[in-house]
Chain A
Amino acid sequence: MNIHIRNGRVIDPMNERDEMTDVFVTAGRIAAIGQMPAGFQASHTIDATGLVVCPGLVDLSVRLREPGFEYRATLESEMLAAAAGGVTSLACPPDTDPPLDEPGLVEMLKFRARNLPGPRVYPIGAMTQKLEGQMLTEMAELTEAGCRAFTQADAPMTDTLVLLRAMEYAATFGFSLWLRPQDATLARGGVAHDGAVATRLGLQGIPALAETVALATILQLARETGARIHLARLSTREGIAMVRAAKAQGLAVTCDVACAHVHLSENDLIGFDSHLHLVPPLRSLRDRDAIREALRDGSIDALCSDHTPVDEDVKLVPFGESTPGASGVELLLPLTLKWARDMGVPLLRAIDLISWKPAQILGIPGGNLSIGSAADLCIFDESAEWIVTPKILSSQGDNTPFLDHPMQGRVRYTVIDGHIDFESPG
């Protein structure tokens, strides 16, 4: 299929491009930008007048819920949701049932995903067997099966010696470890940020210390072992400051935050809405503002949805008993745009955080519109306004803290590998 995307505002952070022009897609590749290639015959034309044309989004954390949690969501529903969110490549964490801790499971997932429309799926392998934090997985075999990195996801890592060994082993092969810094004992039993709001509501707290103590350990082990570390879902001002300082000292670490944490804080917990029960917890306004600033100054490298669809039953309980997590892959773009508007950040820089930068962290070729690269594109209406409702979301998980919130920015087309995988009537 030859696609002619006419007259859009083409934004490509990697190539520092932001201009009104045309994009030509041939045989699944970006054939040209601007000038129509000789002999190009469009089989499909997209009028992108008034729309933004950018690299397909790259989401570093999307739970597809397979295998094991098909009652919460299926590969079909969540890949469709990702495509509806403009996502063309996604990393899925291994906290499935069973966890992605052996090559057969990873191959099966990749096989299932390949036969469905929707984004490219990049599994992140379990760092330890069954995610129990005791025995290492076959990281090399898992890499051959398609894993891009290794992680404990949200499973606790209580044994520092195992963490050290995992780093040493990963560093042997140059594999990347994605770690969410949280000291398991300091966080034990907690369901909300340990601060004035949790105190007032009588919710058991997870102190900011749980993040910074774990970070200190991880950073020190990383310095010692030379392991490639990506820090997932930072949530505290102090934690961000530590990562900023480590980067300034030359340590090659990257980090991300989840898009809900850019907008919400502990203050939103008043009223006990279990949709605000997230991991890590929503922290203070001070922390939220630090996240917003660190995204601007580049201390935080990427934004992700941390998409966690759950069925409504596990949210229809008192806050502390509810299963944490929020569905969000369809909100990644509008929440990123909102941050950019709030902060006065140019669109190019905002899109960088959800395309080119995460593609580099994931180590994949996507996230840019270079000539000859795969035609993964997100075409969106920057000003379209809509309200988040269960009906409008494709995900099987309606569990979002942004229910009934107005959003600005709506995906119109998602092109993956030169195919239009999602198209919205507009």
Chain B
Amino acid sequence: MNPQLSQDGRLRHLLTLDGLPRAIITQILDTAESFMDVGEREVKKVPLLRGKSIFNLFFEPSTRTRTTFEIAAKRLSADVVNLNIATSSQTKGEAILDTVDNLSAMHADMFVVRHAQSGAAHFIAQHVAPHISVVNAGDGRHAHPTQGLLDMFTIRRFKGEFHNLTVAIVGDVLHSRVARSQIHALVPEVRVIGPKTLLPTGVEQMGVRVFHDMEAGLAGCDVVIMLRLQNERMKGARLPSSQEYFKFFGLTPEKLALARPDAIVMHPGPMNRGVEIASEVADGPQSVILPQVTYGIAVRMAVMAMLAGTGNA
């Protein structure tokens, strides 16, 4: 039983890409493609979700992701309410369900949820009324499925199809929900590259190849995805310094030269220039970091439209 699908196999919630049928992923990407021109129109709106109420429930601060969800919803003509719920106490769990119940009583149609705990979106999806859909906008270290989808969309846009591609994900995979979602991308070979302190136990059982030597890991790659390195990692004794990290795991033009000449460079943002990525690369010809942001809106529109049952309208 996939909690993300309705009984007739349609998308009911988007919680994770783990176990999401390939056909649905392809459908989301195709739908996103059809929304690509909306942003370029004079009137950047389609009426697909007119009259629908979408609540952005952010239990963890975020500007970027929340904004793109908001724009996506507005371009679909939905009514959007943003709730930033800062939580720190142990009683916040109770507050989650109370919040969800309250908003449900206001006839919400969709919740876009970000929460610091892995599994929070699953938890909310289990407790909402049957007509409400939940979109996971990032739960702890677990998943960030729309980011994974927009990365796939970006890859498809620049590389055509997915077969024969090799993707390298570099950096703090351990703490990254983005990496966990990217690992489920539809490419034949995913590599993860990083020091042992930043790679989770048994990650190879997710079907990836593990490299600790960045130069070996980048060789022959079509796509290089850099992950953000949080400053806290130094305090947790996972790394000695950001300088040493950059030296061994930062993406420089020299290291990028080891990948295929037509390799693209991606980053989920926000970037730490000089920590995981050199500015020459971030702003260089192989970087598709800004297109990723643009595509993110189309992909989120596609997800919301499909959840509302109007994706093929």
Contacts and interface: CB of A to CB of B under 8 A. Distances in A.
Interface of A: 194-196, 198-205, 207, 271-272, 313-314, 316-322
B202 interface: yes
Nearest to A193: B201
A316 B118 contact: no
Given A202-B143, A271-B3, A196 B119 contact: no
Contact of B118 (A194, A195, A202, A313): A202
B93 interface: yes
Contacts of A320: 117-119, 140
Contact of B119 (A195, A199, A205, A318): A318
A368 B142 CA distance: 50
Contact of A318 (B115, B141, B177, B202): B115
A292 to B, nearest CB: 22
B180 A195 contact: no
A313 B177 CA distance: 27
15 contacts: A195-B201, A195-B202, A196-B201, A199-B205, A202-B140, A272-B123, A316-B97, A317-B92, A317-B93, A318-B115, A318-B120, A320-B117, A320-B118, A320-B119, A322-B93
Nearest to B124: A318
A404 to B, nearest CB: 14
Chain B, interface size category, equals: 20 to 34
A205 B201 contact: yes
B255 interface: no
Interface string B83-95: 0000000101110
A316 B117 CA distance: 13
Contacts of A202: 118-119, 139-143, 177, 180
Nearest to A197: B202
Given A196-B201, A271-B3, A316-B97, A321 B92 contact: yes
A205 B3 CA distance: 24
Contacts of A207: 201
Contacts of B141: 202-204
A320 B141 CA distance: 11
Enumerate the 10 nearest inter-chain pairs by beta-carbon distance, A residue then B residue, closest first.
A317-B93, A202-B142, A202-B141, A272-B119, A196-B202, A318-B117, A202-B118, A196-B205, A199-B200, A318-B120
Interface in B155-210: 177, 180, 200-203, 205-206
Nearest to B203: A199
Given A272-B118, A316-B97, A201 B202 contact: no
Nearest to A269: B119
B280 interface: no
A320 B205 CA distance: 22
A281 to B, nearest CB: 13
